[in-house]
Chains A and B, each alone.
Chain A
Amino acid sequence: MQVSGFRASTNLKRLARDPVLLAVILLVTASLAIFILYPLVEVAATSLDVGGGRLGLGVYSEVAESAYIRKALYNSLFMSTLTAIVGTIIGFIFAFAVVRAKVPLARFFNTIAVIPIVSPPFIGALAIIMLFGNNGLISWNLLKIQNFPIYGFNGLFIAQVVTFFPVSYLTLKGVLESMNPILEDAALDLGGTRWKVFKKVTLPLAIPGIASSVLLLFVETLADFGNPLILAGSRFPMLSVQAYLQIVGMYDLPISILLLVPSLIAFYLQRWLVGKRKYTTVTGKPQQSTTQIVSPGARAALFVACLILALLVAMIYFSIVVGAFAKVWGYDHRPTFDHFKFVFGVGFKAVRDTLIIAGTATPFAGLLGMVIAYLVMRVKFPGRRFVESVSMLSFAVPGTVIGIGYILAFNHPPLVLTGTLTILLLNFVFRYIPVGIESGKAILSSIDPSIEEAAINLGADARKTFTKVTLPMILPAFFSGLVFAFVRGMTAVSAAIFLVSSRWNLMTVHIMAQVESGNLGAAAAYSLLLVLIVVAAISLIRFTLKTQYAKFGGSMLHF
């Protein structure tokens, strides 16, 4: 029998008997309040400040007065909406081609669609400059066009679609895979044509997933910082970039808060949609469909579409690789190791710093994510709702907002952290826990609660239950949380750019600096190294997981 309500007093009494659990709950709640909520409150407070601590319209009057900022806000919203829609269409085509149409080269397309996810989010922008910029391989070397109009809307749009369509692909792939093909067979059997079946069965079933993908892409694009910083230019202002320039300039106005509201709306709308869908997911054995619902003509069309897109993505990575080894991009393409000498010489501190930061933050983020997932799903305590919603908040809040919030919150007592390693670590940990929490929750909801009850019943307290029973069972989710946290940590820009200092810097920030100073070769070399590190780390974790799981009852299950 499920407990729907609970009485706080008895729960507290129970908790008091398990001091470790109580301490963990207090610690988690407090740290979420300090490192997620407090910075946001600071941003909001500052946005209403008209100087000297007086309350006023602050940022909002600035927006009302400045046509430029209004334009930036409009551009950001317009761009995010467009990218979300186009990215989702492309994501759907890819997912449908791979999952349903089973086109040739499906595995290759899958890889192509996943690569951008493990890359720094501005790699598209970098490649587009290398291909279409002033010294671009295509625009200048091939077509001899100077000042090809790549800055502004055109280039940014392409870069963002390439960067974010994989998110849509992965979402919709999951949706299409969980859809029972027997339904389509049944519709065909009832006499529907292929197109009708697609329109009346497949598409309606995928609609919640599609909507969820659009919203997710909207949130991500709106928060995107790297691509706009490189490609937007001054004639096409984007809000995330303007928010950054305001802070590094003199103005000190956190206009990034304007990004917060649309982000939060889209994010919670998406969560609501996903929440609704949970009840209708098909369970049971996946059934093999005998009929293909895609006609040969449609399959060919899908294949060609995927191929063109795949070539575009491949071209991007190809230019990065070539650029990393070319002497002077656009003029002298003879192979050289000069850029790598730079990266491993002068620039190596950033590589080291990044590895230290991501490497340290990752296990903490992973573990914290699992602990929160466990608390939220399995322990009754007052404040559970708070923990759940605040921990998910950092998913929805754009990085620029969080970054500014950290500066505002931690450059004065009681906590002075600006310029330290600690502030970067804290930012990374609290920014990247949500995926760990989500995958932890998904796994926990599929595990019979009586397994944990059995452990408690046999005499295990909360800590032993978690370490000896729950954690080993959710280990796969723990590792996927780790992979994600590491990838994000390695490739982060938007929040981190506010927090780096001369003592602690990041590869991504260095890459941006190289791009800005026109040193494309070094930027490409850095990017290539970054992608290789990420891929190596993922492979390592995968490999460890595989071998550890192969030997059953291995020592890693005993803490």
Chain B
Amino acid sequence: MSVRLINISKEFSDPEREGGKVRAVRDFNLEIAEGEFVTLLGPSGCGKTTTLRIIAGFETPTKGEVWINGKNVNNDPPNKRDTSMVFQSYAIFPHMSVEQNVGFGLELKGRPKAEISREVRQIMEVMGIADLAHRRPDQLSGGQQQRVALARSIINKPSVLLFDEPLSNLDAKLREQMRVEIRRIQQTFKITSVYVTHDQVEAMTVSDRVVVMDKGCMMQVGTPFEIYSRPSNRFVADFIGKVNLLPVRFEREDSGRYLAQDARGMRFEAMSAVPGLEPGQEALFMLRPESIYVESEESASSSGPLRMILAHGIIDKAVYLGSTVEYEIDVSLDRPMLAVSHDPVNAGFWRPGDAVVLKYSPRAAHLLPFMNP
């Protein structure tokens, strides 16, 4: 196990708050395997950066233990820990050239000059910044600074690489590019990585596992697929992407099918559910917008096991986005249903006021507890 966080809690004193304290992280447990890429994802103030800084040693946990490579590092200052961090602001040393920045960690270790310059050259090749060696930091673009920061961190061959929202200062296109790049480098060197972001797409694309956090608590840990398609609670379902959540009562499980019913007596079927749901318990029936088929009223009769009827409704809004069309459909509930249909040129699209029937496949549906933990 490369990194272990055992029961970590962190309190900050804040005289302006009631009680004078803020609990930034609460009873946080996480094990990260060698070479794994784990992302901490959550809204701002959820404690993800604090957790990262606790691993790096910049914050001392109020309670709990941090283990790196089988060693308790609670009392090790940041400079004695085998971690390297890529900072949100990159934190490139403004008074050193690119080369000096990248080689700084090795210089601190007292490595011979020839060795440093060889390794610096090598890593800069890999990062595609070899031609920037003698540049000054203020002559670099955001993306280049990002690469320098990354090179500077991995040259130390740390046990754990830490990323603190590293892409938040880049424009959308560059962000997409760097996402792929970070993943490629991580795979090349097989470095255990912890990555903090509030951007779910970023989390989905780079991670082996995602930890969703809220108010200092871990809400779910899982693969991107699990987090998106099989959320274990309402917060996660809501936070990641757009979602339709229908309040229902869970009835029973029947050979892998979870049956539920809403207040009006409509029956629903899902092929997955959060473990531990009891029959009779209040639950949420979850469908992502892209899993909802918007069809004409006439097709209502032709439903089958893969296209079950969800609701009848009237198109309220239709937003044409080129590759997709986003609909809000009034189905006489508190909230409209959200649906996305692809390839509008071939499939055609609906206009506000059209009467439609919404269908779904139970494979895409998921049942989760009504209350947050």
Is A188 on the interface with B (CB-CB < 8 A)?
A: no
**Known contacts A1-B24, A13-B75, A473-B94; is A458 also within 8 Å of B12 by CB?**
no
A464-B108 contact given A18-B77, A451-B93, A453-B78, CB 8 Å threshold: yes
What are the interface flags for B95-107 relative to A under an 8 Å C-beta threshold, 1 for contact and 0 otherwise? 1110010001100
Contact call A454/B75, Cβ cutoff below 8 A = no
What separation, in Å, do the CA atoms of A98 and B108 have in the docked complex?
A: 49
Decide: A5 and B156 in contact? CB cutoff 8 A: no
Q: Enumerate A250-286 residues with CB–CB distance to B below 8 Å.
A: none
Contact A458 B91 (CB under 8 A): no
Whether, in the assembled complex, A547 has its beta carbon less than 8 Å from a beta carbon of chain B, the answer is no
- Choose from A4, A460, A553 the contact partner of B79 (Cβ within 8 Å): A460
Is A557 an interface residue when CB atoms closer than 8 A count as contact? yes
Known contacts A451-B93, A552-B97; A456 and B87 CB within 8 A of each other: no
**If the complex has contacts A17-B77, A451-B93, A456-B78, are A4 and B100 also in contact, measured as CB distance less than 8 A?**
no
| Docked complex Cα distance between A557 and B107 (Å) | 14
Q: Is the CB of A7 closer than 8 A to any CB of chain B?
A: yes
Of chain A, the residue at the smallest CB distance from B45 is A1
Q: Tell me the bound Cα distance from A462 to B156 in angstroms.
A: 19
Q: B95 touching A553 by the CB < 8 A rule? A: yes
Cα–Cα distance between A227 and B109 once the two chains are bound (Å): 57
Name the CB-closest residue of A to B59: A3
Q: Which residue of chain B has its CB nearest to the CB of A449?
A: B91
**A280 vs B104: C-alpha distance when bound (angstroms):** 37
Q: CB-defined interface of B45-73 with A at 8 Å, one 1/0 digit per residue?
A: 00001100100101110100000000000
- Report chain B residues within 8 Å CB of A469: 93, 95
Is the Cβ of B56 less than 8 Å from the Cβ of A457? yes
Number of A-B contacts (CB under 8 A): 95
- Residue contact A1 to B87, C-beta cutoff 8 Å: no
Contact A453 to B58, CB < 8 A, known contacts A458-B152, A459-B108: yes
Known: A1-B53, A448-B89, A464-B108. A457 touches B79 (CB 8 A): yes
A427–B136 alpha-carbon span in the complex (Å): 41
Docked Cα-Cα span, A451 to B94, in Å, equals 9
Q: Does B83 contact A (CB under 8 A)?
A: yes
Determine whether A287 belongs to the interface, using a CB cutoff of 8 Å to chain B.
no
- Measured between beta carbons, the chain B residues less than 8 angstroms from A455 are 93, 104
Q: Is the CB of B84 within 8 A of A450?
A: no
A459 touches B156 (CB 8 A): yes
Q: A4 contacts B97, CB within 8 Å?
A: no
0 or 1 for each of A432-467: is its CB under 8 Å from B? (1 = yes): 000000000000000010110111111111001000
- Chain A residues with Cβ below 8 Å from B87 are 450, 453-454
Is the beta-carbon distance between B79 and A459 smaller than 8 angstroms?
yes
| A457 contacts across to B, CB distance below 8 A | 56, 58, 78-79, 83-85
CB B299 to nearest CB in A, in angstroms, measures 53
Report Cα–Cα, A371/B13, bound state, in Å.
Answer: 27
Cα distance A1–B58 when bound, in Å? 11
Residues of A near B50 (CB, < 8 A) are: 1
Q: Which listed residue (B13, B75, B88) contacts A17, Cβ 8 A? A: B75
In the complex, the answer to whether B97 meets A553 with C-beta atoms within 8 Å is yes
Q: Does B14 contact A (CB under 8 A)?
A: yes
Q: Which of B50, B79, B97, B109 has the largest number of chain A CB atoms within 10 A? A: B79
Inter-subunit contact B97/A458 (CB<8 Å)? no
Nearest chain B residue, comparing its CB with the CB of A17: B77
CA A5 – CA B89 in complex, angstroms?
24
The size bracket of the interface on B is: 35 or more
**In the complex, how many angstroms separate the beta carbon of B298 from the nearest chain A beta carbon?**
57
Q: A459 contacts which chain B residues (CB < 8 A)?
A: 79-80, 105, 108-109, 156
Q: Which of A14, A464, A472, A557 contacts B60 (CB 8 A)?
A: A14
Assess whether B79 is in contact with A461, with CB atoms less than 8 Å apart: yes
Interfacial chain A residues near B89, Cβ < 8 Å? 448, 450
User: Is A111 interfacial (CB-CB < 8 Å)?
Assistant: no
Binary CB contact string for chain B from 211 to 247 against chain A (1 if under 8 A, 0 otherwise): 0000000000000000000000000000000000000
In whole angstroms, how far apart are the Cα atoms of A461 and B110 in the complex? 13
CB distance from A138 to the nearest CB of B (A): 54
Q: Is A7 in contact with B95, judged by CB distance below 8 angstroms? A: no
Evaluate contact between B91 and A473: CB separation under 8 angstroms.
no
Given A552-B97, A553-B97: A460 touches B108 (CB 8 Å cut-off): yes
A7 to B50, CA, bound (A): 16
Asked if A389 CB lies within 8 Å of chain B CBs, one says no
Interface size on A, residues (CB 8 A): 30
Known: A1-B50, A14-B60. A454 touches B85 (CB 8 A): yes
CB-CB < 8 A to B62: which residues of A? 7
**B151-183 contacts to A (CB < 8 Å):** 152-153, 156
* CA gap between A266 and B75 in the complex, in Å: 45
The answer for the CA separation of A460 and B62 in the assembled complex, in Å, is 25
Inter-chain contacts of B108 with A (CB < 8 A)? 458-460, 464
A468 proximity list for chain B (CB < 8 A)? 104
Residue of B nearest to A448 (CB): B89
**Residue A10 lies at the interface, judged by CB distance under 8 Å to chain B:** yes
With both beta carbons as reference points, the residue of chain A lying nearest to B75 in the complex is identified as A13
B14 contacts A4, CB within 8 Å?
Answer: yes
From B14, B77, B83, B109, contact of A14 by CB (8 A): B77
Chain A residues in 8 Å Cβ range of B88:
450
B77 touches A4 (CB 8 A): no
Contacts of A18 in B (CB 8 A): 77
Q: Is the CB of B104 within 8 A of A458?
A: yes
* Per-residue B-contact encoding for A26-68, CB less than 8 Å = 1, 0 else: 0000000000000000000000000000000000000000000
A14 to B136 Cα, complex, angstroms: 34
Cα distance A10–B76 when bound, in Å?
Answer: 11
Among candidates B12, B77, B109, B156, residue contacting A3 with C-beta atoms closer than 8 Å: B12
A473 neighbours in B (Cβ, 8 Å): 93-95
Cβ–Cβ contact B109 & A557, under 8 A:
no
A4 and B96 contact, CB distance less than 8 A: no
How far is A473 from B94 in the complex, measured between Cα atoms in Å? 8
CB distance from B89 to the nearest CB of A (A): 5
Which residues of chain A come closer than 8 Å to B15, judged between CB atoms?
4
Residue-wise, chain A 7-26 has the 8 Å CB interface mask toward B (1 for contact) of 10010011001100000000
A14 cross-chain contacts in B, Cβ below 8 A? 60, 75, 77
A residues less than 8 Å from B53 (CB atoms) = 1
Contact in complex: A458, B156 (CB < 8 Å): yes
Residues of chain B lying within 8 A (CB to CB) of residue A454? 85, 87, 91, 93, 149, 152
**Pairwise interchain contact A557-B156, C-beta atoms closer than 8 A:** no
* Chain A nearest Cβ from B216, distance in angstroms: 12
Q: How far is the CA of A66 from the CA of B146 in the complex (A)?
A: 72
Could you tell me if B94 and A1 are in contact, using CB atoms closer than 8 angstroms? Answer: no
Task: Given the known inter-chain contacts A1-B50, A448-B91, please indicate yes or no for A453 contacting B79, CB distance below 8 A.
Answer: no
Q: Which residue of B lies closest to A554 (CB)?
A: B95
A459 to B59, CA, bound (A): 16
Q: How distant is A383 from chain B, measured CB to nearest CB, in Å?
A: 18
In the complex, the chain B residue whose C-beta lies closest to that of A9 is: B60
Chain B positions within 8 Å of A461 at CB level: 77, 79
In Å, the complex CA distance between A52 and B56 comes to: 60
Chain B residues whose CB sits within 8 angstroms of the CB of A17 once the complex forms: 75-77, 80
Q: Which residues of chain A have C-beta atoms less than 8 A from B93's C-beta?
A: 451, 454-455, 469, 473
The answer to whether B95 and A557 have CB atoms under 8 Å apart is: yes
What residues on B are CB-neighbors of A5 within 8 Å? 12-14
Residue contacts A-B, CB under 8 angstroms, 7 given: A14-B75, A17-B80, A453-B85, A458-B108, A473-B95, A552-B97, A552-B136
- Which residues does A use to contact B, with CB under 8 Å? 1, 3-5, 7, 10, 13-14, 17-18, 448, 450-451, 453-461, 464, 468-469, 472-473, 552-553, 557
7 nearest A-B residue pairs (beta carbon): A5-B13, A454-B91, A458-B105, A450-B91, A450-B87, A472-B95, A451-B91
Name 13 extra pairs, CB < 8 A, besides A451-B91, A455-B93. Answer: A1-B49, A1-B59, A5-B14, A17-B77, A451-B93, A454-B149, A457-B85, A458-B105, A458-B156, A459-B108, A460-B108, A553-B97, A553-B100
Which residue numbers of B lie inside 8 Å of A, CB to CB?
Answer: 12-15, 24, 49-50, 53, 56, 58-60, 62, 75-80, 83-85, 87-89, 91-97, 100, 104-105, 108-109, 136, 149, 152-153, 156
